[in-house]
Chains A and B, each alone.
Chain A
């Protein structure tokens, strides 16, 4: 069974995750220091999330097509993203086996992996909460 039933589910969960990361002073400070704009492009289901730290002051999170030209684009299937955030698939392994495509100065983004480590636990909670939420 796929991790995300549809685009709305994927985008809602990913936005909630990044909003939680933004609310964490340690993680957001470290990400802002990078001044990177990173775009995640998902397929199955399709979805685009852009996390823009380029001004070093405010982390801007958006979904859908964006006017911004990201420094780095990471493309993957929704299931791969889910496996990454649940800790079942490391980014290095996903890159080695072609499950993630990255465009741009990838090492700069990979250097941020230790920074977002606490977000793994957040993701599991966000994901589970969404699954438990009553269907409207």
Chain B
């Protein structure tokens, strides 16, 4: 009996998935509520978790929007106490902002936290919840697996499709010196994530592209990460990539297209679940470092570095890239592994062109990198925790070489 190319490709996928380590550890504690206007159910969901007074964390821009006002009103409309709004979260959250939010929460006796916003807002909400629940200095809880127990009820509503913070167990907060403090714990994953596509239809095209590439980078780096792989991680990554490759260009061109927005949001969440189990890699390590130094957009910085990071990882990751290419039907199935891997990298470059993303650090606004600055960035990226999950071992020289190529 003859098999079609699709059938053979499908069989191949199953074999590959079966070849995953059959002993694995997969964690995804966040309940997902998905749908148009789902954000209006948030008040009731929080009440079901025992919340009686909620701190609603957001930023100043969002606080002025009609969608935010509708979420706020939905509390009183459904007979629940109106939340206390904390809208002072800056684009990159810091300790000062966490302390400010905590003061407000304590003043009004809040017993739960809800966040509406991008990654910075969601991370701030997580940090406030740490202090509110454990009643200590936020610095004391810095680290990995360092939270002693469950936090107060937390519900997250993302307004971008990229960070995955609504399901991740991580929060990054800047200290006074501008250094990022890392909080990672299973107790940091929100109890509930509400994914409401209606909230992201007004996201401008440039941010749609940038945040979308954050999610693409999560999926690619999680798929190839060195540790804790599982069939579930692989499935989430492959499906997330499929949805993003198909829908990101549509969401970019037609922001009002709710179907495309919904599928990008879903894909971002799936990629978030994947990377929270495996970690990310060299692309994120560099994007964190470059972003901290030059205040560039995280997703766009990821996009610029992604093809070069993949080329660096190619000797170790060719089979994984080929697996992704086959699933995404990129390149002819009879190509060898290396050719398929290269086809995937080319597809990513093509997609970047399609959604008008910068293709170099220069286009991102960084044009003054001398040898010393590159070495400094390489040195700092080497201490980024993302680096340890990368499929290939990385030295400072490797990082400098990737930066040089992205210039």
Contact = CB atoms under 8 A, between A and B. Distances in A.
Interface of A: 72-73, 90-93, 95-98, 100-108, 110-111, 113-114
A97 B228 contact: yes
Contacts of A106: 142-144, 182, 385
A110 B143 CA distance: 11
A62 B181 CA distance: 28
A112 to B, nearest CB: 9
B347 to A, nearest CB: 29
A129 B60 CA distance: 64
B384 A92 contact: no
Contacts of B279: 92, 96
Contacts of A93: 227-228
B144 A102 contact: yes
B384 A107 contact: yes
A92 B383 contact: no
B278 interface: yes
Interface string B170-189: 00000000000110101000
Contact of A102 (B143, B186, B277): B143
B388 A102 contact: no
A98 B186 contact: yes
Contact of A101 (B140, B146, B181, B385): B146
A90 B279 CA distance: 13
B272 to A, nearest CB: 15
A45 to B, nearest CB: 21
B146 A96 contact: no
A51 B141 CA distance: 21
A101 B144 contact: yes
Given A98-B186, A107-B385, A113-B388, A90 B142 contact: no
Contact of B228 (A96, A102, A108, A114): A96
Contacts of B227: 90, 92-93, 96
Contacts of A91: 388
Given A102-B143, A102-B146, A103-B143, A96 B277 contact: yes
B142 A103 contact: yes
Given A96-B227, A107-B385, 15 more contacts: A92-B226, A96-B277, A96-B279, A97-B228, A103-B140, A103-B142, A105-B142, A105-B143, A105-B182, A106-B182, A107-B383, A107-B384, A111-B382, A111-B383, A113-B388
Interface of B: 25, 140-146, 181-182, 184, 186, 226-228, 277-279, 382-385, 388-389, 395
Contacts of B384: 107
A92 B141 CA distance: 19
Interface centre among A91, A101, A106, A108 (most CB of B within 10 A): A106
A95 B382 contact: no
A100 B142 contact: no
12 contacts: A72-B143, A90-B226, A93-B228, A96-B277, A96-B389, A100-B144, A102-B144, A102-B146, A103-B140, A103-B141, A106-B385, A107-B182
Contacts of A114: 395
Contacts of A111: 382-383
B144 A95 contact: yes
Interface centre among B228, B277, B383 (most CB of A within 10 A): B383
Contacts of A90: 226-227, 388
Contact of B25 (A97, A104, A113): A97
Contacts of A108: 383
A92 B277 CA distance: 11
A104 B142 contact: yes
Contact of A92 (B25, B146, B182, B389): B389
Nearest to B147: A101
A110 B388 contact: yes
Nearest to A89: B227
A101 to B, nearest CB: 4
A33 B384 CA distance: 18
A103 B388 contact: no
Contact of B145 (A72, A102, A113): A102
A100 B145 CA distance: 7
Contacts of A73: 143
Contacts of A95: 144-145, 184
